[in-house]
Structure 1
Amino acid sequence: MRRAMRWGALLGRMTVGIAVMLMLLACQSGPQMLSAPVTGYNHTSAVINRFSVNGAGGPNIGPNEGGGKQVCCGALPRHWSSDLKVTVEWEKDPNTGESTNWPPLGTDAYREAYRKHAAKYTQHRAVVDIPQYGEKVCALQVHFLPCDQVRVSTTCYTPSNPNYPDREYFQMKESAACPVL
């Protein structure tokens, strides 16, 4: 009986020792992913009702607006690779001025007007390259461009900084017709 108790105590200490060793090893390996807030910039005349980057949601963005709201959090691998891509999905309201003369909120007439308006929303999806980044990712910045194009950046700069890499997007003009792809 005593021998069985000694073996039990020894096994108990070994189990605790193995668990502590595994925890220390896990701490030394470090996280494999980096988290970053998601923010968006809309360079179009449509409303972006919602968007996501690999499932991490982004805020609603009015026409030719953005940058003011961030949502937490997107994730990227700690180490960049040349084949790194993200999936951006978004819903667009192409008829932004249509809702100015609606019936009173909460009425059946309002709900019917909204249903007809929402039926015109369009759904989009794009797989986008991620430009090279270093050890620090400050934000996943999503740029919605004319003709349903989208680009993603991980820069730590804001658009007001002269070193911001995506300044040209703010100079883009929407064309009357988009090329057929």
Structure 2
Amino acid sequence: MSRILIRVLWLTLISGLSLQGCTPPKPVRLGAPIEGFSHTSAAINRFSVNGGGGPNLAPYGYGGGQMCCASLPVKWHPGLTVVVEWVKDPDPYASANWPPLGTDGYRAAYKLHAAKYTHHRAVVPVAQYEDLGIVNVHFLPCNQVAVSAGTTYPGRPDYPFHFPQKMQEPATCPQP
């Protein structure tokens, strides 16, 4: 073989090996879309998972489509938790009796009503998942929350939770 051919082969080999170092590593965490489900008579005016916002939820409702995003590990591990924060309207139908929209009376009624919103924060375990998918947040009676983050969805047998859509608040809630 000629020296030029050997040099070309050598340079090709070195170039190929050096390019392997340019391959990006597989991600450890990804942003996953967020969905919510209210199983109570309260409205969830806003919520977040690890700082990523979720949609508004009507009473007993599935809400507003997917929002972006909650940062979670690609692979589930024991002890995995998320921080869920939410604002709850315990009387979402009160505006039916308010003065007309856009009036001073309406604004005053809204201000009094909004003062009754409750703010919550919980550190919640994430149900085990094989592959990271949609983050589903279930709001339950007594300000309890359940979170899944896999590729399955409510109603399927392999989904980790099977809550009824409508759940009633008990007369008294257990103390944390």
TM-score, scaled relative to structure 1: 0.79
Query: Does residue 100 of structure 1 match 2:101?
Result: no
Among candidates 135, 142, 146, match of residue 151 of structure 1: 146
> In the aligned structure 2, how far is the partner of 1:106 from the partner of 1:75?
39
Moved over 4 A (4+): 21-24
1:87 maps to: 83
Could you tell me how far 1:34 is from its partner in structure 2? 2.0
Q: CA RMSD in A?
A: 2.1
What is the number of equivalent residue pairs in this alignment?
A: 160
Among candidates 55, 71, 78, match of residue 59 of structure 1: 55
Higher deviation after alignment, 23-32 or 160-169: 23-32
> In the aligned structure 1, how far is the partner of 2:31 from the partner of 2:143?
26
Q: Could you tell me which amino acid in structure 2 is paired with residue 176 of structure 1?
A: A
| Paired residues of 1:85 and 1:127 also in contact (CA < 8 A) | yes
| Paired residues of 2:73 and 2:132 also in contact (CA < 8 A) | no
> In the aligned structure 2, how far is the partner of 1:78 from the partner of 1:22?
28
Q: Which runs of 5+ in 2 are unaligned?
A: 1-16
Could you tell me how far 1:68 is from its partner in structure 2? 5.2
Could you tell me how far 1:168 is from its partner in structure 2? 3.1
> In the aligned structure 1, how far is the partner of 2:167 from the partner of 2:148?
17
Q: Which runs of 5+ in 1 are unaligned?
A: 1-20
Could you tell me how far 1:23 is from its partner in structure 2? 8.5
Question: What percentage of residue pairs aligned between the two structures are identical?
Answer: 52
* Partner deviation per Cα, 1:130-173 (whole Å, 9 max, x = no partner): 12222x21200000000000010013222232332211354744
> In the aligned structure 2, how far is the partner of 1:78 from the partner of 1:107?
50
Q: Could you tell me which amino acid in structure 2 is paired with residue 81 of structure 1?
A: H
| Paired residues of 1:155 and 1:165 also in contact (CA < 8 A) | no
Q: Could you tell me which amino acid in structure 1 is paired with residue 138 of structure 2?
A: H
